[in-house]
Amino acid sequence: MTQSFEYVEPIGARVLVRKDEPKRETRGGIALPDAAEIPTITGRIVTISVEIENDEDVPLRQYDKILFHPKNAIPVDLEHDNQLFVVPVEDVVAVFRREKPEE
């Protein structure tokens, strides 16, 4: 009997990220062959771990768009296109915001 999983909960200081689609052309409109593909290291947080949710020092929330270092990202084989990755918080290097948060 095969059981399919529908939800992935990251454990520890990790987030689940849906990687953005890789770029197929430059800003100037030049089409890139697959071998010269620009590595995509941005994505949107799908789920955060309980540890991150309760840590006020880590400003990450579900649906945030982030920039992350892909070296330690662990692929999650849950979807056919395999765009989900578990990413350690220390590998999240930036969060994209529409406006600067209040201090």
In sign, the C-alpha dihedral spanning 60, 63, 69, 70 is positive
CATH number of the domain where residue 86 is located:
2.30.33.40
Structural domain boundaries enclosing 46: 14-96
φ, ψ at 52 (rounded to 5°): -70, -40
Q: What does the pLDDT average to over 83-103?
A: 87
Q: Report the alpha-carbon distance of residue 59 to residue 47 in Å, rounded.
A: 14
Asked if the structure places residue 5 within a domain, the reply is no
Q: Is residue 41 part of a domain?
A: yes
Within a domain: 85: yes
Q: Is the pLDDT of residue 30 over 70?
A: no
Do the domain assignments include residue 47? yes
User: 4 in a domain, yes or no?
Assistant: no
Would residue 8 count as lying in a domain?
no
The contacts of residue 48 (CB under 8 Å, 6+ apart) are: 10, 15, 16, 60, 61, 62
pLDDT digits (tens, 9 = 90+) for 47-71: 999 999 999 999 999 999 999 998 8
Number of domains comprising the chain: 1
User: For the whole model, what pTM was predicted?
Assistant: 0.74
Residue 6 belongs to a domain: no
